[in-house]
Amino acid sequence: MALGPRLDLRQSQSLVMTPQLQQAIKLLALSNLEIEAFVGEALEANPLLDAGEAERENATPSESEITPREDVPADMLIAQGRGEDDRPLDILPETLDIDRDTGDGAGSGGEREQGEWGSATSDGTGTEGPSIDERGSGCLTLTEHLLEQIGPAARTAHEAQIARYLIGQIDDAGYLRSDVHEAALDLGVPADDVAGALAAVQSLDPTGVGARDLAECLALQAREADRYDPCMARLIDNLDLIAKGSFEQLRRMCQVDEEDFADMLAELRSYDPRPGLQFGASDGIAVVPDVLIGSTAEGGWNISLNEATLPRLVINRSYYLELREGLADKESRAWLQEKLGDANWLIKALDQRQKTILKVAAEIVKQQDGFFRRGVTHLRPLTLRTVAEAIEMHESTVSRVTSNKYLHCERGTFELKYFFMSGVGGGADGEGGASSEAVKARIKALTDAEHPKKILSDDSLVDLLKAEGFDLARRTVAKYREAMGIGSSVQRRRAKKMAGIR
């Protein structure tokens, strides 16, 4: 066979993604707030686009606009089928009231593990910090609260200036994450001046704020309660022995009898280890739901997009006609026609995005009907493929739709991806059996209810779960237990023994 250069003609087909198709795919993955920012840029770049008003009574039929009430009929978006008990899934354009009581659910959807220290209020312990809604509601932050107090607390203006710098270094839990000597170098002042300013900060409300570690935080609260004697000081200096459950050793070190020791432990556990968490996070980002779910009188579900964050676009036809009449050259007219095409495309792309999100959300509600009615223990295993096949879309589309988007229902606010999880004890494809969240919730309930003298081992948990229909291996139970921060049977026995001493 002769070797040499030659020319061949071949015909083939390939999928070419146009810039508009790439942009449409990008829009699917954006949240409503990100879409709002994107639309703001589009309004600046395209003179033919206008932001539509909430109510357009005089809108003419020739104007193009995004209107879920007109362009998203329920029969096109409703999931084919019904929810549990043959109840309908209704997709309505009305926006629900998202300030209603969130019921018994948590904003994160999971059960929160109790912290090591107890307190009379949930805000003070750090176990249930401010809710999602509270963080975004404009409540007073810890930094703002401290800055309001530092003026009268500081002895001089110089000390107040240093104290304001230190307040800026305090994290949301109330701890100072900066060394005194490093702060002195940064400010160019003597370390003694920084120490004096820190003392002023530590005198502010809430008590314990400005501490550099847990021991200092508890010591500040003990001094405030006039309980910081040498015995309490030794107890606070040996917090690691409390964690290990070495109470007898601690009692001997504190040189007190059992009654006094129990009283000291009770006093210590009443203190707040994270005093700053009773205020809003200084850098918290409000989570705004994209999809709203509400129950109907007939027992079904209303599913709608959060119109408060949805952009509303129209094409300014009168301005377009005015510009077209004033443009004589061919190049300018081509530019104007291009802008008109871009505006029409963006409106249609956003409209299609809304339809797709509602379609996916409706199928999720249909598949997870038990969760919305009875809670996390009724979450079903669900995969992207299951939803994609049900609504006849590609898995990648469903993945993009569920990214960075949140759903608000009576149980709280959840990321859409929260409802997707593999099955435990199911088939090889990850479906069937129970969801991992349901298993975790059941393990949490069993360990919380166990008697201090009858602590459940992992083998006992396996047997109890198997009796309830959860076919799990011991290592799986241990993995889930550790993931939730639940200690081993030995650690739980010690913790409950210490709780009993209180």
Q: Which segments within 84-183 are labelled E, that is strand?
A: 89-91
Q: Which positions ≥6 away from 419 have C-beta within 8 Å?
A: 364, 367, 368, 371, 379, 382, 407
pLDDT of res. 56? 37
Per-residue pLDDT band for 119 (boundaries 50, 70, 90) equals very low
Answer with the residue of higher pLDDT: 215 or 55. 215
Answer with the residue of higher pLDDT: 96 or 291. 291
Answer with the residue of higher pLDDT: 167 or 59. 167
Residue pair 113/485 in contact (Cβ under 8 Å)? The answer is: yes
* Tokens standing for residue 464: 């109890």
Q: How far apart are CA 485 and CA 444, in angstroms?
A: 10
Residues 332-384 pLDDT 10s: 888 888 989 989 999 999 999 999 999 999 999 999 888 888 877 677 888 88
pLDDT of res. 273? 86
pLDDT of 324 higher than 80: yes
Answer with the residue of higher pLDDT: 33 or 40. 40
Q: Which positions ≥6 away from 474 have C-beta within 8 Å?
A: 458, 459, 462
| Percent of residues, the chain, with pLDDT higher than 70 | 76
The SS3 of residue 439 is helix
Is cis: bond before 289, omega within 30 of 0? no
- Pairing, β 406-409 against β 291-295: parallel
What average pLDDT does this structure show over 3-18?
Answer: 76
Residue pair 25/400 in contact (Cβ under 8 Å)? The answer is: yes
| HSE of 280, CA atoms in CB hemisphere, 13 A | 17
C-beta neighbour count of 154 within 10 angstroms: 20
pLDDT of res. 308? 79
pLDDT of res. 499? 66
pLDDT of res. 77? 32
Q: How far apart are CA 255 and CA 266, in angstroms?
A: 17
> What domains, with CATH codes, occur in the chain?
19-52+70-75+289-419 (no CATH), 122-278 (no CATH), 423-501 (1.10.10.60)
Find residue 305's DSSP bridge partners: 291
* Averaged confidence pLDDT in the chain: 74
pLDDT of 201 higher than 60: yes
Give the angle 197-200-202 at the CA atoms, nearest 5°: 110
Q: How far apart are CA 153 and CA 175, in angstroms?
A: 19
pLDDT of 407 higher than 80: yes
Q: How far apart are CA 309 and CA 98, in angstroms?
A: 13
pLDDT of 214 higher than 80: yes
DSSP notation for 130-194: S-HHHHTTTPPBHHHHHHHHHHHH-SSHHHHHHHHHHHHTB-TTSBB-S-HHHHHHHHTS-HHHH
Evaluated on CA atoms 44, 49, 54, 57, the torsion sign reads positive
Q: Kindly tell me the burial class for residue 263, based on how many C-beta atoms sit within 10 Å of its own C-beta (0-12, 13-18, 19 or more).
A: middle
Question: Which of 105, 113, 132, 128 shows the shortest CA–CA distance to 379?
Answer: 105
pLDDT of res. 81? 36
pLDDT of 27 higher than 50: yes
Residue 248 CA, chain-centre distance (Å), reads 42
pLDDT of res. 359? 93
Q: Which of 122-136, 427-441, 449-463 has the lowest mean pLDDT?
A: 122-136
pLDDT of 15 higher than 80: no
pLDDT of 276 higher than 50: yes
C-beta neighbour count of 141 within 10 angstroms: 18
The SS3 of residue 207 is coil
Q: How far apart are CA 328 and CA 315, in angstroms?
A: 22
pLDDT of 88 higher than 60: no
pLDDT of res. 327? 79
- Pairing, β 412-415 against β 291-295: unpaired
**Identity at 486, one-letter amino acid code:** I
* Tokens standing for residue 112: 């929160």
The SS3 of residue 501 is helix
Question: Which of 182, 239, 179, 250 shows the shortest CA–CA distance to 214?
Answer: 239
pLDDT of 72 higher than 80: no
Q: Which positions ≥6 away from 196 have C-beta within 8 Å?
A: 155, 159, 162
Per-residue pLDDT band for 68 (boundaries 50, 70, 90) equals very low
Q: How far apart are CA 487 and CA 366, in angstroms?
A: 36
Q: How far apart are CA 347 and CA 294, in angstroms?
A: 28
> If you search the block for the tokens 């049900």, which residue do you land on?
390
pLDDT of res. 13? 74
pLDDT of res. 435? 67
pLDDT of res. 501? 52
Q: Which of 5-14, 355-364, 380-389 has the lowest mean pLDDT?
A: 5-14
pLDDT of res. 380? 81
Per-residue pLDDT band for 20 (boundaries 50, 70, 90) equals confident
Per-residue pLDDT band for 87 (boundaries 50, 70, 90) equals low
